Amino acid sequence: MKTRFARVAVCAAISVGIGGAAANATVQGAPRYTLAQATEKAEKTTGQGEGVVRAVDADERRIMITHGPVSGPLEMSPMTMAFRVAPNVDLSSLSKGMKIKFTISRDTKGLYVIEDVRPEKP
Ligand SMILES: [Cu+2]
């Protein structure tokens, strides 16, 4: 009787230990996720511009654009530059010499990314 009681007590202690560890993992994971989302929202600003496509690099997912002034929360002076292009943008619809309107953002590392491209209708 005595031995059996002892075993039950040990099992109960292990259960509590495992339950406690799982609860801790959940609590630790949740705030980290929320913080990452909040940081991204706070730092992701966008701007609108127009320009002409100078080159399309589908392999590197970059395009070179000569653009006018970019306005919005995110601003940029007119220039010719290369942009990284977001995964949702269809690069096959773009070609050299095409006039476009575009939306850019700056990611948390300070790099500019084209989020959206609309060919300008003639
Ligand atoms: Cu620029």
Average pLDDT over residues 24-51: 63
At residue 45, does pLDDT exceed 60?
A: yes
Predicted model pTM: 0.64
Taking the C-alpha atoms of residue 10 and residue 91, their distance in angstroms, rounded to an integer, is 63
Q: How far is CA 3 from CA 6, 12, 15, 93, 116, in A?
A: 5, 15, 19, 76, 71
| Continuous segment of H or E residues that includes residue 46 | strand 45-57
Q: For residue 50, how far is its CA from the centre of ligand 1 (angstroms)?
A: 11
3-state secondary structure of 59: coil
Average pLDDT over residues 88-112: 93
Q: Which residues surround ligand 1, an ion (CB under 5 A)?
A: 76, 79, 81
Phi, psi values for residue 74, rounded to 5°: -100, 120
Predicted local confidence at residue 108, as pLDDT: 81
Q: For residue 82, how far is its CA from the centre of ligand 1 (angstroms)?
A: 8
